[in-house]
Structure 1
Amino acid sequence: MNKPLAVGLLALALAGCASSQPEQPFTLTLAHINDTHSHFEPSDTRLTLNKKTVYTRIGGHPRLLSYANVLREQAAEADQPLLFLHGGDGWQGSGYFKLNEGTMNADLLSRLQLDAMVLGNHEFDLDNQRLAAFIQSVEFPVLAANLDASEDADLQAADNLTPYVLYAFKGNKKKRIDSVADAGKSPVVAVMGLVLEDMPEIASHTGQVRFAQEIATAQQTVNALKEQGVKYIVALTHLGLDRDQRLAEKVNGIDVIVGGHSHSLLGDFSNLGWAKEAPYARQFNNPDGLGQTCVVQAGKFAQAMGQVSVSFTLDGRVERCEGTNTLLADKVFYSDIRRQDKHRLPDAQQQLMAKAITELPNITQIDEDDALRAHIDEQYRPALLKAYGKVIGHVPLPLAHVRLPIANKGSQVAPLVAASQLYWVNTPEVQSITGRRVDFSLVAVGAVRNNIEPGELKEGNVNLEVLPFVNAMSLVSLTGHQMAGLLLETVNGSIGAEAHSGKLPYGAGLRYTFNETSRGRGYVARMEYLHDGQWQRIDPNARYQVALTGYHASGNDGWNTFYEAQKVATDRLDLAYVEGNLTVFPVARLGKSEQGAIEVHYQNQALDCQQSGVTCNADARAFIDYVQARRPILTALPESGVKLNRL
């Protein structure tokens, strides 16, 4: 049913005449996850329980399945409707994705028995042929109402990609239907998908797909659903929390927004030593002053599952919306993140920790699903272990990766990545090819995907987990004035009302201070670079050589200053390996396709990372070389170089 939105709405309108939904109380339970990012294995974590710091593992897909089955059993016993939804970005984030390129995701997500999933931006990380194969192979509908794939050769035939899906309920039993007329007197829930309207600026490979405005499409779809007779409408989105809240306040008729993209673990987790975020299941008034929309999201990396119960009035408005996110914990605790046998807590303390968890509303202990655990271990894990390769260094203490600095304590990993890139591009071997000395490097915090845990550091930890995106390195010059503009747009874009914190820049050989003057806005108070061992102010009129990934050098992900600086001409050089040899690809200029995707125009031979013999993992290679040559005992740098003075 992959049809342009207008065709889908016409079908709704034609079916509407015969519909008549019953006037009866209705309660719906939604279980939801988002931004799982191929974290099929559980995550190591630190918790505070009984005022004691302990370490365990949380989440992973076998644990998600176990908990989903518990919720299904509870719903069946109560004869209550239940839907299990995924808020997008199932792709990327672990070595499993690098090795299997979506096939394992399709396999395991189908085994979770989802009822629907919305497309995230990382689902466009490969190419549309492989995305189409994923969409067609999963056993649940993939949603995107504001996406038109009718002109894309690969996605236009993906009939499992649809604007919305309808489910009719008879107690706990549900049936997917084509129209309300097929439901008889059973209540019908519509789940519509909404994806980023600026997807071509964020995602790597959108092909000929067109993306419509989120708010306009949402209202248009809701109106058509209401005209058909649908009373209960869920928006499954991958927009981020701030855009979800704006959607709730700008669109009439959405009952619940189940979101993703901003990795927001909604709720107060300070009782576990974690952060306190915005409330879970917060309700927002619609513009008509009559309806309310409930907004939920469930964190990241398959660590938690959200569960929200929504009760409706007889005329179909939200009367009550309550629930929580629940962290899914293992049943064994340790005194150290390395979780060796000598660190395992004594049995008496294990029991105390388990008892503490039973008294908390936002965490539970649950075993992994045995069958799914065995399937991963037999089908996928052996290849993963083999792919991790040789040891390149050792990590004595955990290196945390957080996106936005809290009390000016930012990521410990991103500065190391930036330092590795500056080191690598200025090695004699690379300089002999480029003929350039680079002044500083930049890294978008979202390009770094994981913490680095203590113990051995292998090549695979770097190129399969920390830097999985397969990026060429780029050298390009900017003026000091342009640098100030870049910092202004990226920091404002990371802390603002429609924030996507992944665009925040860290650097090496560069440091800056940003002062917030109003919510989500501010100015660059200081910007310096390291020259001959001394920090100096950046001259607005001078030009500086910058090293960064080709993705961000093209202006993607809101780094628009780079695009504007290279529209007419550029001195940019892209670096990748051809048959194992580092090769320079000079860039002539940047442009945009009709769909708005940024295009790189090369002077001579184009860099095609999909071509046989071409390897575009220079960013990961730089980090590996840096650790081996300079930091075989890998510890955090003394400072991150980023200082945010928040209100």
Structure 2
Amino acid sequence: MNNGWKMVSFVSKIGFMIFIAILSGCSTKDISHLKPLKTTIIHINDHHSHINSEKIALNIDNEAVEAEIGGFARVVSRINELQKRKINPITLHAGDALQGTMYYTVFKGEVDAKLMNLISWDAFELGNHEFDDGDDELNRFLKDLNTTVLASNVVVNQNSSLHNRIKPYKIIIRDNQKIAIIGIDVAYKTKYSSRPSKNVEFWDEIQSVNKYIKELKTQGINKFIVLSHFGLENDIKLAFQIEGVDVIIGGDSHSLMGDYDMIGLKSATKDYPIITKSKDNKKVCIAQSWEYSYAVGALNVKFDEFGDIKECSGYVDLLFDFNTKNKKLLDTVRLYPQLKIVKEDEKALEIIRSYKSQLDKKQKEIVGFNKKYIGHNRIPFDKIDGVSSLEYGSEIAPLIAKAFYLKSNNASFAIQNAGGVRSGLTSGNITIEDVYKLLPFSNTLIEFKMSGKEVKELLEDAFSSTFDKSSTGAFAYGYAIRYDVDSKQSKGNRVSNIEVLNKTTDKFEPIELNKQYIVITNSYIADGKDGYEKFVTIKDKINTYYDYAMSFVDFIKTQPNITPVCKIYHPIKSFK
């Protein structure tokens, strides 16, 4: 295209914009300062109350390297640095600040709010786990939070404490130009897997975004960011179905975006951002920044004079320990801009230390009592705990599985591997520390659907691992499911007479091979570990982010005296 045609095109666009402004009731003054805009969107998502830094296993040049990563004090430090350095910064949190560690279990959202308030946010989007403890607990968190809270598809009536707490969108000004930020929360999962009250409605995510973009366009706004707790795949689909969207900053799927092969980390996509097209064939930039306070995203965006994306680029910065002495890591960090050595923010550390000391004391808190030792055999009669010889195997594993089952709103039954339980439970007072010795791993509870046929195959795999590969930790226990086990049979023929508890009648019924069941289990075997290979083939797993040890603590607190499950509810009906 020659320069003459470029000038005609530019004048035509200006004339069209003025015409639209007049039709929509806007004065031409709204667009008289049309000019390009540069901004950097600084963002995190799904930090899930991961307050402390954590250890992570890396692989650099085929050498195993353990590194310290993340922690909210590093998030504060990195975001504050980026806000000072970047042009027209916009700072966003795409939801699921809460649930996942003892900080939340003990203090609810108090610690997260205090640390988040060390950052100047433009907006915080609600995630599904914000609703895990109901409207009132979420309201307490949001009252303490010094930012605008978004979710355009979450509609709260006046009977909820959340009434008027949540906004559909926010309009911000950068370089004298308006930018609209529209929030959406994942509707189905929040409604059915979390605990919002009946006074909270969840609208369709795409319809909500469309509604507010159309509404805001009439105000002369032509730059739109969707702050989404909807998952990366859904965000890509959303972009294709929306006119006018420019940027989607996401969460929920915990997606690591960018290339991290140099440290042995597998990302969801090598692209940061993903660049796609909207329904009106305009460029859309989609970004997300992993999980657990490990990373901060920095998306550099250039809008042209008409509010369309000209280009976008950037990195998800992984935040490593400022004091690391690991030469391998330091050498690698120097070569790659997406790896950062970050000093922890002192104000954040001060807050964390005060709560950490309280948390240490909390571990000694008595949460329950049991009159009699509750035994643990991995396999019936194996005396793994040095005390018990149990005809039907573990007493404690089914009790733990019951806690998982009761924690869920949806589960048909729970599965727990024998190796995930480290001992029996001694008689007397039970402390939080006792539970974490019993269940010491960093597991969360995972939900997903399986057919009856797949459940049978799963159990056969577990018992094959137990008896064919001598992996006693794979022995399968559960709650609200029971079966006969014959160790002398061949692979694929060891499990029979599987029954599932009917919640309505409280009676066991034969499993139906073609029926879909909702299973809840720990994240370790949900990843296919310990012989539970069938779990790997299951799609659409939902991580509840309930800590599996604290789920047992919550169960203990409801019981005046902890006792093993009755024989009728024990998963092992018979064992040969």
Query: Which residue is equivalent to 1:298?
Result: 289
Which amino acid in structure 2 is aligned with residue 44 of structure 1?
A: K
1:32 matches 2:43: yes
TM-score (norm 1): 0.58
Give the counterpart of 1:383 among 358, 372, 375.
Answer: 358
Q: Map Cα deviations across residues 539-564 of structure 1 (whole Å, 9 max, x no partner).
A: 99x5524799xxxx9xxxxxx9448x
2: CA distance between counterparts of 1:260 and 1:236?
Answer: 8
Is the 2:26–2:219 contact (alpha carbons within 8 Å) kept by the matching residues of 1?
yes
Give the counterpart of 2:415 among 442, 447, 455.
Answer: 442
2: CA distance between counterparts of 1:25 and 1:215?
Answer: 28
Query: Which residue is equivalent to 1:372?
Result: 348
> SS where residue 374 of structure 1 aligns?
helix
> SS where residue 238 of structure 2 aligns?
helix
Is the 1:486–1:561 contact (alpha carbons within 8 Å) kept by the matching residues of 2?
no
1:128 matches 2:104: no
2: CA distance between counterparts of 1:260 and 1:248?
Answer: 15
Query: Which residue is equivalent to 1:195?
Result: 185
Query: Which residue is equivalent to 1:358?
Result: 334
Which amino acid in structure 1 is aligned with residue 181 of structure 2?
A: V
Query: Which residue is equivalent to 1:20?
Result: 30
1: CA distance between counterparts of 2:149 and 2:293?
Answer: 19
1: CA distance between counterparts of 2:147 and 2:60?
Answer: 38
Is the 2:463–2:494 contact (alpha carbons within 8 Å) kept by the matching residues of 1?
no
Q: 1:153 to 1:25 in 2, by over 3 A?
A: same
> SS where residue 111 of structure 1 aligns?
coil
Query: Which residue is equivalent to 1:320?
Result: 311
How many residue pairs get matched? 427
1: CA distance between counterparts of 2:222 and 2:80?
Answer: 27
Query: Which residue is equivalent to 1:9?
Result: none
Q: 1:426 to 1:215 in 2, by over 3 A?
A: closer
Aligned-pair CA distance for 1:288: 2.1
Which amino acid in structure 1 is aligned with residue 171 of structure 2?
A: L
> SS where residue 254 of structure 1 aligns?
coil
Aligned-pair CA distance for 1:383: 1.5
1: CA distance between counterparts of 2:141 and 2:460?
Answer: 34
Aligned-pair CA distance for 1:16: 6.3
RMSD: 4.3
- In structure 1, the gaps of 5 or more residues are 1-13, 171-185, 334-344, 391-419, 431-438, 449-456, 489-503, 512-527, 554-559, 566-608, 623-647
Query: Which residue is equivalent to 2:396?
Result: 424
Aligned-pair CA distance for 1:351: 4.7
Query: Which residue is equivalent to 1:147?
Result: 154
Aligned-pair CA distance for 1:138: 0.5
1:484 matches 2:476: no
Give the counterpart of 1:164 among 156, 162, 169.
Answer: 169
1:241 matches 2:222: no
Is the 1:125–1:204 contact (alpha carbons within 8 Å) kept by the matching residues of 2?
yes
Query: Which residue is equivalent to 1:401?
Result: none
> SS where residue 20 of structure 1 aligns?
helix
Which amino acid in structure 2 is aligned with residue 71 of structure 1?
A: L
1: CA distance between counterparts of 2:233 and 2:183?
Answer: 17
Is the 1:306–1:324 contact (alpha carbons within 8 Å) kept by the matching residues of 2?
yes
Query: Which residue is equivalent to 1:614?
Result: 558
Query: Which residue is equivalent to 1:181?
Result: none
- In structure 2, the gaps of 5 or more residues are 1-22, 366-391, 403-411, 422-432, 466-481, 509-514, 520-552, 566-576
Query: Which residue is equivalent to 1:281?
Result: 273
> SS where residue 251 of structure 2 aligns?
coil
> SS where residue 244 of structure 2 aligns?
coil
TM-score (norm 2): 0.65
> SS where residue 259 of structure 1 aligns?
strand
Aligned-pair CA distance for 1:43: 1.4
Which amino acid in structure 1 is aligned with residue 178 of structure 2?
A: V
Identity %: 25
Give the counterpart of 1:101 among 80, 85, 108.
Answer: 108
Is the 1:94–1:465 contact (alpha carbons within 8 Å) kept by the matching residues of 2?
no
1: CA distance between counterparts of 2:237 and 2:226?
Answer: 13
1: CA distance between counterparts of 2:459 and 2:560?
Answer: 21
1:92 matches 2:99: yes
Which amino acid in structure 1 is aligned with residue 274 of structure 2?
A: R
> SS where residue 228 of structure 1 aligns?
coil
Q: 1:103 to 1:507 in 2, by over 3 A?
A: farther
Which amino acid in structure 2 is aligned with residue 136 of structure 1?
A: K
Q: Map Cα deviations across residues 67-89 of structure 1 (whole Å, 9 max, x no partner).
A: 111101212xxxx2101111100
Aligned-pair CA distance for 1:460: 3.9
Is the 1:442–1:506 contact (alpha carbons within 8 Å) kept by the matching residues of 2?
no
1: CA distance between counterparts of 2:560 and 2:463?
Answer: 24
Which amino acid in structure 1 is aligned with residue 337 of structure 2?
A: P
